[in-house]
Amino acid sequence: MLSVILTILKIIGIILLVILGLLLTAVLIVLFVPVRYKSMGSFAKTDDGFKDKILIRATWLFHILSVTFNLDDTEPKLSIKILGKELSLGTNNNEKDARNKKRHKSVSRDEKQDGKAADDITVQNVFIDVDKSLDDSKAEQSAKITDETVVERNVAEQSKKDTVENIPEKKAKASLKEKIKNIWNKIDLICEKIKNIKDVKDSFVHYLKRDDSKLAIKEIKHIILKVLKHILPKKLWARVKFGFEDPATTGNILGVASILYGVYGGHLELEPDFEHVVLEGEYKLKGRIRAFTLLVAAFKIYRNKWLKEFIAFSKKKITQF
């Protein structure tokens, strides 16, 4: 009986170890197997504008997962494949159905509005006739207004004019003083804000000039440059053919480019054309991105004590401002 229990426990332990090994292998694959990307394209300036073609493809784990983005003169296309099978995004059909539905709805709404408009015209004609009869009756009644009402209106208007003319000058002076006082208060607030901005700027400059700040900034800069170096393409090649109306301009650009040959040498080919106006070219690039490198860089930046202190200091200063 004991041997049977031990055998069962042994089998369970083996199964658990296998599952744990598979999980660990999956984690290591995700962390250390890089995502490889490549891109190629071309461009040319024509009378109708720029015509360009761009192809971007990213693959992972021996093309088990691949994403392709193709941009040409017609429409951009996105393709996602898993184990060689393309996933149907279904965006084009849905968009077409939505557009057709919108068109049908707009047509039906227009028809309904036309019918309502015809009914409204007939009703409006009836109301116009009624309004004309009412206006005639009102005109007859207004003609019967007596001279006494006219006199009463003139007296009321004269009393209003007298009250307006008798406004004291003290109120005008008081309103002018209030306006000047408000303008002065606004100027004080602006000066105070400018002073606060200057104080905040000086405090930031003083904080960043400290020795520990300089060392921390240097370390963070080193981490970011390392990440950029890892992300940027390892292989890059491009060719550009150019020419301007004035051959001297073409020669000047070629002269400046020759000075910078040490920067792009081996990666960029320049082909000047002194007889035609032309601008065209093509490029190819390849690179890879490993998740482990990005996670290590993010962890180092997160664990940086000075960066946490600087974020807290910035929040404090911003709230005070």
The DSSP line for 84-124 is TEEP---HHHHHHHHHHHHHHHHHHHHHHHHHHHHHHHHHH
Span of 70-84, 95-109, 167-181 with lowest mean pLDDT: 95-109
pLDDT digits (tens, 9 = 90+) for 219-262: 999 999 999 999 999 999 999 999 999 999 999 999 999 898 88
Sequence-distant (6+) residues with CB within 8 A of 224 are: 297
The mean-pLDDT minimum among 56-60, 149-153, 185-189, 214-218 falls in: 149-153
Q: What is the pTM of this model?
A: 0.65
pLDDT grade, residue 108 (50/70/90)?
low
The stretch 257-282 carries a mean pLDDT of 89
Question: Mean pLDDT across the stretch 128-140?
Answer: 50
Quote the CA–CA distance of 314 and 137 in Å, as a whole number. Answer: 77
Burial of 180-203, coded b for 16+ CB within 10 Å and e otherwise, reads: eeeeeeeeeeeeeeeeeeeeeeee
Q: What residues pair up with 37 in beta bridges, in sequence order?
A: 58, 287
User: What is the per-residue pLDDT for 286?
Assistant: 96
From CA 300, how far away is CA 225, in angstroms rounded?
13
Cα(195)–Cα(188) distance, integer angstroms: 11
Residue spans of the domains in the chain: they are 35-89, 91-166, 177-209, 211-320
Say yes or no to pLDDT of 147 above 70. no
Q: Which DSSP state fits 135?
A: H
Most confident of 47-51, 146-150, 262-266: 262-266
Across the range 212-220, mean pLDDT stands at: 94
Does residue 176 surpass a pLDDT of 90? no
